[in-house]
Structure 1
Amino acid sequence: AQYFHLLRIQALAEERRPLVVFTPKSGLRLPAATASPDELADGGFRPVIDDGAAGDPGRVRRLLLASGKVTHELEARRDKEGRSDCAVVRLELLYPFPAAVLEAVLARYPGLSEVVWVQEEPRNMGAYAYVASRLRLPPGLRLKYVGRRAQASPSEGSMSAHLQEQERLLAAALGPAGAPSQEVS
């Protein structure tokens, strides 16, 4: 529904401006990315999607903030491990940056001890630097980074190396239950 509503907003806008959408083909068949007819008819574009499956917001200690398909992988891993201390929040709009919406989402989690930006791209690519410079966190929290180290190439070069790196990334993002995650790059 997100993609539909985004295109609808763009088509109905009086001022014509380019729309840039980065989305992988893998999302086309992803069951978690499907929408019901009600969402298409009654919904709207949401710049930030809060974690509806996180359970009690007061029990959440680690908030994983990400954009793109890695959010679906984080949610699947969290659910597989039965973790109720982690929430996955999806940033759907980078510009203009939805600071007020993100602040409202963060306020829903009073017990947060850490906020982690997770991205598949290397540290010198992707949205980390952009988000880190614009995100206003509550006092006592800082944005941690979990992703690939800075490098010249966006890919590992082999499927087996990519899968190992992806596993490391997901494990580092969720971290052990009850323990702080390690900032990884």
Structure 2
Amino acid sequence: MQPGTHFQPVLTDPTTTDPEQVDKVVFVSGKLYYDLQKEKADRGLNDRIALIRIEELCPFPKDQIKEELEKYRYATEFVWCQEEHENQGPYSFMAPRLAQMIPHHKLEYVGRKPLSAPAIALPPLFKEQQAKLIKDAVNLD
């Protein structure tokens, strides 16, 4: 890291200019954020969807997430999005913790279905699934 910088466990969405207009909050971790951000911008949804990047899973950054959620108090949809299969990524760890923080809303999962294998060995299928989960994450109901 550069001098004068520090690690941040939770990163806000810098493209959302009016948090009160946000309808949907998408929690994401890792490089998938960049794909979601591009799709969101391409579809003109910067003020309708907020992407909250959680870069430190454990210890759970409860206070930082709470601070982010307070910005989006009018949001009605909450999603955890990951590119790993449901049973392989951080969803099973994060879901109960995030659900406690949004007690009046359901946390939706957007990602690949559970799979016993660690990866899909078919690049075309992987790309198809990746495109679908990115579109699903930024769709508004």
Q: Answer whether TM exceeds 0.5 for this pair.
A: yes
Residue 77 of structure 1 aligns with an amino acid whose one-letter code is E
Aligned residues: 139
Pick one of 16, 24, 28 that aligns with 1:62: 24
Pick one of 98, 102, 111 that aligns with 1:147: 111
* TM-score between both structures, scaled by the size of structure 2: 0.93
* Aligned residue number for residue 109 of structure 1: 72
Q: CA deviation at 1:105?
A: 0.5
* Aligned residue number for residue 35 of structure 1: none
**Unaligned runs of at least 5 residues, structure 1:** 5-39, 181-185
Residue 126 of structure 1 aligns with an amino acid whose one-letter code is G
Q: CA deviation at 1:41?
A: 2.9
* TM-score between both structures, scaled by the size of structure 1: 0.72
1:35-114 equivalences in 2 (<5 Å): 40-83=2-45, 84-114=47-77
Choose between structure 1 and 2 for higher RCO, CA contacts under 8 A separated by at least 6 residues. 2
Runs of 4+ in structure 1 displaced over 6 angstroms? none
The percent of aligned pairs where both chains have the same amino acid is 31
**Unaligned runs of at least 5 residues, structure 2:** none
* Aligned residue number for residue 133 of structure 2: 169
Rounded Cα–Cα distance in structure 2 between residues aligned with 1:146 and 1:61: 16
Aligned-pair Cα RMSD in Å = 1.2
Relative to total residues, which structure has the larger strand share, 1 or 2? 2
Rounded Cα–Cα distance in structure 2 between residues aligned with 1:154 and 1:64: 24
